[in-house]
Structure formats: structure tokens, C-alpha cells
Amino acid sequence: MSSVHVSPLSTYLSIFAALMVLTALTVGVAFINLGSFNPVVALGIAVVKASLVILFFMHVKYSSRLTKLTVVLSLFFVAILIFETLMDYATRGWQTIPPMLK
């Protein structure tokens, strides 16, 4: 059945280097004014870093479909939690009050 995948040393070292570079990048970018894109870029870099850790350090790239599904499932349900709650917060200002109630 499944044999355990052993990644070469160089994989771990290059992922580590990439994570360090991305950390420096996220700090550097934070000091540049990108307007509303600052948090987007910061989170984007964080997502890339997290993906590298998940795929290579946690071996998900070489894991079973079920493991991959578990990862996706957790993100999907967090997305439901965040999306549906923000749906409420984003539309709270939309209500128009009828003139008779003003």
C-alpha cells in the first residue's frame, strides 16, 4: 500500500528560504502605500506562505486525496462562517427607513 514519501533535504531548505523571503517581503510591502490593497497583499503573501507550509512541510502534496479533502473542507467551512456573517455586516447600512417612521 502507501509508502511514506521522504522529501529531499533541498526541498525543506528551499521552502524555508522562500518563507523567509516572503516574510521580509510582507514587512517591506507594508511600508509602501498601496491604498486598500495593503491588506490584500499582506493576506495574499500569508496565504502563499501557509500553502508552502501545508504542501511541503506537512506533506499534503504527497498525501492521500482524503487528507487533501480534509484541508479543503476546513477552509470551506471557515469560508461559510466568514462569508455569511459578513453578509449581515455588509448589508446593515442598506435599510431605508420609510418616511413615516423617521
Partner 1 sequence: MDTPVYPAHNYLSNGHGLKSWLLTKDHKRIAMLYLISISIFFFLGGLFAVGIRLELTTPQGDLFQPDTYNKFFTLHGVMMVFFFLIPSVPAVIGNFFIPPMIGAKDLAFPRINLLSWYIYVVGGLFALFAIVAGGVDTGWTFYTPYSSVSSSTNVTATALGVFIAGFSSILTGLNFIVTIHRMRAPGLHWFKLPLFVWAHYATSLIQVLGTPVVAITIVMIFVERAFGFGIFDPQRGGDPVLMQHLFWFYSHPAVYIMILPAMGVISEIISTFSRKRIFGYSFVAFSSLAIAVFGFIVWAHHMFVAGISVYSAMVFSFLSFSVAIPSAVKVFNWAATLHRGSLSFEAPMLYVYGFFGLFLIGGLTGLFLATLGTDIHLHDTYFVVAHFHYIMVGGAIMGYLGGLHFWWPKMIGRMYSEFWSRISAILVFVGFNLTFFPQFMLGYMGMPRRYHMYPPEFQVLNVLSSAGASVLGLGYIIPVIYFLYSIKKGAVAGNNPWGASGLEWRTQSPPLTENFVDVPTDIPEAYEYTPQVVREAKLV
Partner 2 sequence: MSNPIAHAAAGHGPAGHDFATADGHGHGHHPALQHHFSTMDQQREAGVLGMWVFLLTEVLFFGGLFLTYTIYRTWYYEAFAAASKSITISWGLINTAVLIGSSLTMALGVRAAQTNQRKATVNWLLATIFLGTLFLGIKVIEYADKFEHHHVPGPHFVFASEHEGAEGGAAEHAAPAAAEGGHVMTMGPDELQRTTQLFFSLYFTMTGLHALHMIVGIVILFIVAWMAHKGRFDSEYFAPVEMTGLYWHFVDIVWIFLFPLLYLVERHN
Q: Could you say which of partner 2, partner 1, none residue 36 binds, taking C-beta under 5 to 8 angstroms by partner kind?
A: partner 2
Q: Could you say which of partner 1, partner 2, none residue 33 binds, taking C-beta under 5 to 8 angstroms by partner kind?
A: partner 2
Measured from the CB atom, the residue of 32 and 101 that comes closer to partner 2 is 32
DSSP 58: S
Q: Could you say which of partner 1, partner 2, none residue 62 binds, taking C-beta under 5 to 8 angstroms by partner kind?
A: none
DSSP 62: G
CB 69 within 8 A of CB 76: no
Residue 88 as a binder of partner 1 (CB under 8 A): the answer is yes
Residue type, 102: K
CB 60 within 8 A of CB 54: yes
Site residue total, partner 2 (CB under 8 A): 52
State the Cα–Cα distance between residues 7 and 19, nearest whole angstrom.
17
Q: Give the footprint of partner 1 on residues 8-67 (CB under 8 A).
A: 66
CB atoms within 10 A of CB 49: 19
Measured from the CB atom, the residue of 31 and 89 that comes closer to partner 1 is 89
Residue 32 as a binder of partner 2 (CB under 8 A): the answer is yes
